[in-house]
Structure 1
Amino acid sequence: MSKHMQITVTVRPYYKTGFEETYPRLARRLEQLAPDLVRGQPSLFALAGQLDQLLYRLEGTQLRGVLLRHRDALVKMHKSIQEKMADWNLSAADRILYAMEDVFDEIESQMD
């Protein structure tokens, strides 16, 4: 490793029309409790990484119930993506990111 530089692999959000337009129901619910989070255009990976904190803040809401149904899968995916990135297996990490998007699409469809 270089003494003064390092290589970093990160997951950045990329929404053609923004988070609020891509996931309007989810964004609307999250904005009520965490407006800064939604304004920051979070990546789905970042949301999955904060899932337990979000569940705590969402106590008593419909969104909490929907997220709880998908919690185990999202936590497992988040951990697996971190491991794949650490191993520089970026194509495998990307495949899991696609699967994570599918889970968030399902979450969006389950919101009223």
Structure 2
Amino acid sequence: MSQHMQITVTIRPFYKKSFEKTYPRLARHLGYQDPDLVDGNPSLYELAKKIDMLLYQYDGTPLRQVLLDHKQQLIQTFHAIEEHIADRRLAEADKLLYTLEDIFDDMEYHLD
């Protein structure tokens, strides 16, 4: 690494409209207790990173069960993405972002 510079790879949200419009059920459930989280247009990667905090924060809600049902998939996919980024295998990381989207699509489907 350079003495005064560094290379960073970031994953940013990119919704055609917004997180709330893309995942309305999930946004509604998250917004009950944390409207700022939804207003911040979080990336799915960021939400996967916070899975344990979300499970704690939404204890006793229908959202918690959906999160719990998908926890292992989210954790495994998140860590695999991290590893690919660290190893500079960005194409593989990008493929896993699609997997992460599929997991969140399934979560959206299971929420009412």
Band of TM-score, shorter chain: over 0.9
Extract structure 1 runs of 4+ deviating beyond 3 A: none
**3-state SS of paired residue (1:3):** coil
Aligned residues: 112
Structure 1 residue 75 displacement after superposition: 0.4
Unaligned runs of 5+ in 2: none
Ranges in structure 1 where 5+ consecutive residues have no aligned partner: none
**TM-score normalised by structure 2 residue count:** 0.98
Q: TM-score, normalising length from structure 1?
A: 0.98
Partner Cα distance (1:64, 1:34) in 2: 14
Deviations 1:36-75 (CA, angstroms, capped at 9, x unpaired): 1111100000000000000001011111001100000100
Q: Secondary structure at the match of 1:37?
A: helix
Confirm or deny that 1:16 pairs with 2:16: yes
> Which residue is equivalent to 2:97?
97
3-state SS of the aligned residue for 1:67?
A: helix
Equivalent AA in structure 1 for residue 58 of structure 2: L
Q: What is the SS of the residue equivalent to 2:74? A: helix
